[in-house]
Amino acid sequence: MLEDLYKKYQVAVKIFYNYVKSNKLHTFRRRSLIENELQKLYYRVKENLNLHSQLVQSARREVVNDIMSWLKIGGKYPKFSENPLTLVYNRSYRLFEKGKEFKLWAKICGVAYPLELGERQL
């Protein structure tokens, strides 16, 4: 399930990236203008991929950060590359104790996953 979530996140990043590239949003040269334009895709990406809103916003933010960094540095247009899945505590995930088999669980975007941790990590 986590692998599926990761893949969906990468698809979201790719959708935002391709939209920026095909619509030449980098010519706006301002973060707020690019973000506002990408926000138009928010509901479509969220519903089609069935992603938590925090992850859709994170994917959008990753693309904007990459474009803004490229605008500062210059060179060839950046190629799409996979981005790490960004989870924010109490927005897209939370930890809780439950049951005897596993001491700690993570609820990520509404789905509970058991965590197998050593005493030090706990």
Let me know whether 67 and 14 are in one domain. Answer: yes
How does pLDDT run across 54-81, given as a tens digit for each residue?
Answer: 899 999 999 999 999 999 998 888 888 8
- Domain stop point among 51, 73, 95: 73
- Domain stop point among 48, 73, 98: 73
In a domain, 82, yes or no: no
Let me know whether 57 and 94 are in one domain. Answer: no
How does pLDDT run across 5-19, given as a tens digit for each residue?
Answer: 899 999 999 999 999
Let me know whether 62 and 91 are in one domain. Answer: no
pLDDT exceeds 90 at position 29: yes
Q: What's this model's pTM, rounded to 2 decimal places?
A: 0.80
Q: Domain range for residue 106? A: 87-122
First to last CA, the chain: 23
Number of structural domains (the chain) is 2
Instruction: Annotate 6-69 with DSSP letters as a single string.
Output: HHHHHHHHHHHHHHHHHTTGGGG--HHHHHHHHHTTHHHHHHHHT--HHHHHHHHHHHHHHHHH
Let me know whether 54 and 6 are in one domain. Answer: yes
Let me know whether 63 and 12 are in one domain. Answer: yes
In a domain, 103, yes or no: yes
